[in-house]
A and B are shown apart, each in its own frame.
Chain A
Amino acid sequence: KQEVTQIPAALSVPEGENLVLNCSFTDSAIYNLQWFRQDPGKGLTSLLLIQSSQREQTSGRLNASLDKSSGRSTLYIAASQPGDSATYLCAVRPMEYGNKLVFGAGTILRVKS
């Protein structure tokens, strides 16, 4: 059964710092991995989608990497801003299940001004 773990569970950094969020998964047989952002009381916003054949994706200050063989992904946020404060969720799409996403519990990020 696919399990997704995110470390750390919470992170507090000063504004301007570069930071890395970690995601690991137990079964490397995945179609893709997706990073989401969730603001308090809101739904999920897709940030980056990495297909299993890709190593990384970039969008603005965000860069996500994928090492499928080791079951790891990182989300790198450059020059963090208070507006980046949110919960960041990692989800994999396992080949075993077809159309389900399996999520981690998330990392709660707080960027202090």
Chain B
Amino acid sequence: GAGVSQTPSNKVTEKGKYVELRCDPISGHTALYWYRQSLGQGPEFLIYFQGTGAADDSGLPNDRFFAVRPEGSVSTLKIQRTERGDSAVYLCASSLGAGPGNTIYFGEGSWLTVV
């Protein structure tokens, strides 16, 4: 596609529920990233995929968070037993390659509210 696409754009869920957030990267981009942005803060790194594999998941806050990218394109971020503190914007990004010369392009984000 023309840009990084994320769905849903907004999600309100009850505490304790399970949530899935989807990211469709720019066509042909092999690197995919998830970031989380709380109000008034810059985005914080969660996980990075190169192809189908999670090359770096050191930013995932705990084992309630998991992400997959089974075919090396679309990725899903999964949050189990949601807590109010999980409320944030979840941003997906992609780049053509993984090297530092590659510009990283961000999607519009999925705004998650846990009530």
On A, residues with C-beta under 8 Å from B are 4, 31-32, 34, 36, 41-46, 49, 51, 89, 91, 93, 97-106
Contact = CB atoms under 8 A, between A and B. Distances in A.
Given A102-B45, A105-B40, 20 more contacts: A4-B42, A31-B100, A34-B104, A42-B108, A42-B109, A43-B6, A44-B43, A44-B93, A46-B104, A46-B105, A91-B43, A97-B45, A99-B31, A99-B33, A99-B55, A100-B48, A100-B59, A101-B35, A101-B45, A106-B42
A104 B8 CA distance: 26
Interface residues of B, number: 29
Nearest to B101: A51
B44 interface: yes
Interface in B54-103: 55-56, 59, 91, 93, 98, 100-101, 103
A93 B50 CA distance: 17
Contacts of A97: 45, 56
Interface string B1-21: 000101000000000000000
Contacts, number: 62
Contacts of A102: 45
B98 A105 contact: no
A100 B100 contact: no
Contacts of A42: 108-109
Nearest to A45: B106
A49 B42 contact: no
Nearest to A102: B45
Given A99-B31, A99-B56, A100-B48, A46 B41 contact: no
A31 to B, nearest CB: 3
25 contacts: A4-B42, A31-B100, A32-B101, A34-B103, A43-B4, A43-B106, A43-B109, A44-B91, A46-B105, A46-B106, A49-B103, A89-B43, A91-B43, A93-B100, A99-B33, A99-B48, A99-B50, A99-B56, A100-B48, A101-B33, A101-B35, A103-B42, A104-B42, A105-B41, A106-B42
Contacts of B103: 34, 46, 49
A32 B50 CA distance: 19
Nearest to A98: B56
